[in-house]
Homo-oligomer: A and B are copies of this chain.
Amino acid sequence: MTIRVVVAEDQSAVRAGLVLILGSSPEIEVVGEAADGEQAVELARELRPDLVLMDIQMPRMDGVSATRQVVAEGLADVLVLTTFDLDEYVFGALRAGASGFLLKNTDAKELIEAVRTVARGEGLIAPAVTRRLIAEFAAPRPVRSPDAPDPAVLDVLTRREREVLSCLGQGLANAEIAVRLEMAEATVKTHVSRLLGKLELRSRVQAAVLAQELGV
Protein backbone atom coordinates (compact mmCIF):
# COMPACT_ATOMS: atom_id res chain seq x y z
CA MET A 1 0.00 0.00 0.00
CA THR A 2 1.41 3.33 -1.06
CA ILE A 3 1.29 6.47 0.99
CA ARG A 4 -0.80 9.08 -0.79
CA VAL A 5 0.49 12.59 -0.22
CA VAL A 6 -0.65 16.13 -1.02
CA VAL A 7 2.11 18.72 -1.14
CA ALA A 8 1.13 22.27 -0.15
CA GLU A 9 3.82 24.87 -0.81
CA ASP A 10 3.52 28.21 -2.55
CA GLN A 11 6.96 28.41 -4.11
CA SER A 12 6.68 26.24 -7.19
CA ALA A 13 10.38 25.48 -7.40
CA VAL A 14 10.48 24.22 -3.84
CA ARG A 15 7.26 22.34 -4.41
CA ALA A 16 8.70 20.64 -7.46
CA GLY A 17 11.72 19.62 -5.44
CA LEU A 18 9.59 18.11 -2.73
CA VAL A 19 7.50 16.22 -5.23
CA LEU A 20 10.63 14.90 -6.84
CA ILE A 21 12.05 13.73 -3.54
CA LEU A 22 8.86 12.06 -2.40
CA GLY A 23 8.26 10.50 -5.81
CA SER A 24 11.67 8.88 -5.67
CA SER A 25 10.37 6.57 -2.99
CA PRO A 26 8.38 3.63 -4.32
CA GLU A 27 5.91 3.62 -1.46
CA ILE A 28 5.03 7.30 -1.68
CA GLU A 29 2.73 8.75 -4.30
CA VAL A 30 2.15 12.47 -4.65
CA VAL A 31 -1.51 12.70 -5.59
CA GLY A 32 -1.92 16.46 -5.50
CA GLU A 33 -0.14 19.80 -5.28
CA ALA A 34 -1.48 22.99 -3.72
CA ALA A 35 -0.08 26.51 -3.95
CA ASP A 36 -1.93 27.96 -0.98
CA GLY A 37 -3.77 26.93 2.15
CA GLU A 38 -7.26 26.95 0.70
CA GLN A 39 -6.23 24.74 -2.19
CA ALA A 40 -4.58 22.40 0.28
CA VAL A 41 -7.79 21.98 2.24
CA GLU A 42 -9.85 21.53 -0.93
CA LEU A 43 -7.49 18.93 -2.31
CA ALA A 44 -7.46 17.09 0.98
CA ARG A 45 -11.25 17.00 0.91
CA GLU A 46 -11.31 15.71 -2.67
CA LEU A 47 -8.46 13.28 -2.65
CA ARG A 48 -8.46 12.04 0.92
CA PRO A 49 -4.70 11.58 1.03
CA ASP A 50 -2.94 9.84 3.88
CA LEU A 51 -0.85 12.88 4.56
CA VAL A 52 -0.51 16.55 3.71
CA LEU A 53 2.98 18.03 3.59
CA MET A 54 2.28 21.61 4.56
CA ASP A 55 4.34 24.78 4.37
CA ILE A 56 3.59 27.43 6.98
CA GLN A 57 4.07 30.57 4.94
CA MET A 58 1.44 30.52 2.22
CA PRO A 59 -0.89 33.08 0.68
CA ARG A 60 -4.69 33.07 1.08
CA MET A 61 -4.66 30.76 4.06
CA ASP A 62 -1.57 30.14 6.14
CA GLY A 63 -0.39 26.66 6.89
CA VAL A 64 -1.43 26.70 10.51
CA SER A 65 -5.04 27.52 9.70
CA ALA A 66 -5.05 25.00 6.87
CA THR A 67 -3.66 22.40 9.23
CA ARG A 68 -6.36 23.14 11.77
CA GLN A 69 -8.98 22.73 9.06
CA VAL A 70 -7.62 19.50 7.67
CA VAL A 71 -7.23 17.96 11.10
CA ALA A 72 -10.63 19.16 12.28
CA GLU A 73 -12.30 17.47 9.34
CA GLY A 74 -10.23 14.34 9.87
CA LEU A 75 -9.04 14.45 6.29
CA ALA A 76 -5.43 13.49 6.75
CA ASP A 77 -2.39 13.67 8.94
CA VAL A 78 -0.38 16.83 8.50
CA LEU A 79 3.38 17.11 8.40
CA VAL A 80 4.44 20.73 8.67
CA LEU A 81 7.51 21.92 6.84
CA THR A 82 8.98 25.35 7.29
CA THR A 83 12.15 27.37 6.93
CA PHE A 84 12.02 29.04 10.31
CA ASP A 85 11.73 27.30 13.62
CA LEU A 86 10.02 30.21 15.31
CA ASP A 87 8.20 29.24 18.46
CA GLU A 88 4.95 30.67 17.22
CA TYR A 89 5.09 28.45 14.16
CA VAL A 90 6.03 25.33 16.04
CA PHE A 91 3.54 25.67 18.85
CA GLY A 92 0.85 27.02 16.56
CA ALA A 93 1.21 24.12 14.17
CA LEU A 94 1.23 21.52 16.89
CA ARG A 95 -1.76 23.04 18.62
CA ALA A 96 -3.49 23.03 15.27
CA GLY A 97 -3.07 19.29 15.27
CA ALA A 98 -0.02 18.69 13.12
CA SER A 99 1.53 15.26 13.51
CA GLY A 100 4.99 16.40 12.70
CA PHE A 101 7.19 19.44 12.29
CA LEU A 102 10.21 19.54 10.03
CA LEU A 103 12.62 22.23 8.94
CA LYS A 104 13.43 22.72 5.28
CA ASN A 105 17.08 21.95 5.83
CA THR A 106 16.02 18.33 6.28
CA ASP A 107 17.68 16.18 3.64
CA ALA A 108 15.84 13.96 1.19
CA LYS A 109 16.30 10.70 3.01
CA GLU A 110 15.08 12.12 6.30
CA LEU A 111 12.10 13.68 4.63
CA ILE A 112 11.02 10.37 3.14
CA GLU A 113 11.59 8.66 6.44
CA ALA A 114 9.53 11.35 8.14
CA VAL A 115 6.62 10.83 5.80
CA ARG A 116 6.72 7.11 6.48
CA THR A 117 6.88 7.70 10.22
CA VAL A 118 3.89 9.99 10.28
CA ALA A 119 1.95 7.68 7.97
CA ARG A 120 2.53 4.94 10.53
CA GLY A 121 0.58 7.07 12.96
CA GLU A 122 3.61 8.19 14.87
CA GLY A 123 4.83 11.69 15.44
CA LEU A 124 7.98 13.40 14.37
CA ILE A 125 9.65 16.63 15.27
CA ALA A 126 12.84 18.17 13.98
CA PRO A 127 15.55 17.72 16.62
CA ALA A 128 16.33 21.41 16.56
CA VAL A 129 12.88 22.26 17.83
CA THR A 130 12.29 19.23 20.02
CA ARG A 131 14.23 20.75 22.84
CA ARG A 132 12.12 23.86 22.94
CA LEU A 133 9.00 21.76 22.77
CA ILE A 134 10.21 19.82 25.76
CA ALA A 135 11.01 23.01 27.59
CA GLU A 136 7.62 24.43 26.81
CA PHE A 137 6.03 21.22 27.93
CA ALA A 138 8.02 20.87 31.10
CA ALA A 139 7.33 24.42 32.25
CA PRO A 140 3.58 24.76 32.05
CA ARG A 141 3.54 28.50 32.28
CA PRO A 142 0.64 29.63 34.44
CA VAL A 143 -2.25 29.86 32.05
CA ARG A 144 -2.38 33.57 31.50
CA SER A 145 -6.05 34.01 30.84
CA PRO A 146 -7.02 35.93 27.73
CA ASP A 147 -9.13 38.26 29.84
CA ALA A 148 -5.79 39.17 31.44
CA PRO A 149 -6.43 40.91 34.75
CA ASP A 150 -3.41 43.14 34.59
CA PRO A 151 -1.15 42.52 37.59
CA ALA A 152 -0.05 46.14 37.23
CA VAL A 153 -3.26 47.29 38.87
CA LEU A 154 -1.69 46.26 42.14
CA ASP A 155 0.77 49.11 41.77
CA VAL A 156 -1.82 51.65 42.81
CA LEU A 157 -2.30 49.86 46.12
CA THR A 158 -0.29 50.51 49.25
CA ARG A 159 1.40 47.66 51.12
CA ARG A 160 -1.37 47.49 53.67
CA GLU A 161 -4.05 47.46 51.03
CA ARG A 162 -2.37 44.61 49.18
CA GLU A 163 -2.22 42.62 52.41
CA VAL A 164 -5.91 43.19 52.96
CA LEU A 165 -6.65 42.24 49.36
CA SER A 166 -4.76 39.02 49.86
CA CYS A 167 -6.93 38.21 52.87
CA LEU A 168 -10.05 39.03 50.89
CA GLY A 169 -8.90 36.53 48.28
CA GLN A 170 -8.97 33.90 50.98
CA GLY A 171 -12.53 34.71 51.86
CA LEU A 172 -11.81 36.20 55.25
CA ALA A 173 -14.22 38.55 57.05
CA ASN A 174 -13.14 41.95 58.27
CA ALA A 175 -12.88 40.76 61.86
CA GLU A 176 -10.65 37.85 60.81
CA ILE A 177 -8.46 40.14 58.74
CA ALA A 178 -8.19 42.48 61.72
CA VAL A 179 -6.82 39.66 63.84
CA ARG A 180 -4.40 38.43 61.20
CA LEU A 181 -3.03 41.88 60.36
CA GLU A 182 -3.27 43.14 63.93
CA MET A 183 -5.45 46.17 63.51
CA ALA A 184 -8.97 47.24 64.45
CA GLU A 185 -11.85 45.99 62.37
CA ALA A 186 -12.69 49.59 61.59
CA THR A 187 -9.28 49.99 60.00
CA VAL A 188 -9.73 46.92 57.90
CA LYS A 189 -12.91 48.46 56.60
CA THR A 190 -11.03 51.57 55.65
CA HIS A 191 -8.51 49.62 53.63
CA VAL A 192 -11.20 47.54 51.98
CA SER A 193 -13.06 50.65 51.04
CA ARG A 194 -9.94 52.32 49.69
CA LEU A 195 -8.86 49.40 47.57
CA LEU A 196 -12.34 48.93 46.23
CA GLY A 197 -12.23 52.52 45.07
CA LYS A 198 -8.78 52.24 43.53
CA LEU A 199 -9.63 49.03 41.70
CA GLU A 200 -13.06 50.30 40.68
CA LEU A 201 -14.87 47.40 42.32
CA ARG A 202 -18.22 47.49 44.04
CA SER A 203 -17.86 44.85 46.73
CA ARG A 204 -15.39 42.69 48.58
CA VAL A 205 -16.67 39.76 46.56
CA GLN A 206 -15.35 41.25 43.35
CA ALA A 207 -12.10 42.02 45.12
CA ALA A 208 -11.88 38.38 46.18
CA VAL A 209 -12.46 37.20 42.63
CA LEU A 210 -9.81 39.57 41.33
CA ALA A 211 -7.36 38.43 43.98
CA GLN A 212 -8.01 34.87 42.85
CA GLU A 213 -7.39 35.65 39.21
CA LEU A 214 -4.20 37.46 40.11
CA GLY A 215 -3.12 34.53 42.24
CA VAL A 216 -2.53 36.81 45.22
Per the bound structure, the CA–CA distance linking A123 and B54 in Å amounts to: 22
User: A148 contacts the other chain (Cβ, under 8 Å)?
Assistant: no
In the complex, the answer to whether B122 meets A171 with C-beta atoms within 8 Å is no
Q: What number of copies of this chain does the assembly contain? A: 2
In the complex, the answer to whether A205 meets B208 with C-beta atoms within 8 Å is yes
Per the bound structure, the CA–CA distance linking A96 and B212 in Å amounts to: 29
User: A138 contacts the other chain (Cβ, under 8 Å)?
Assistant: yes
Known: A99-B134, A137-B137. A205 touches B168 (CB 8 A): yes
A-B pairs, top 10 by smallest CB distance, nearest first, are: A123-B130, A171-B206, A123-B131, A122-B127, A212-B212, A171-B205, A95-B138, A205-B208, A171-B209, A117-B127
**Interface, chain A (partner B; CB < 8 A):** 91, 94-100, 117, 120-125, 127-134, 136-138, 140, 142-143, 168-173, 201-206, 208-209, 212-213
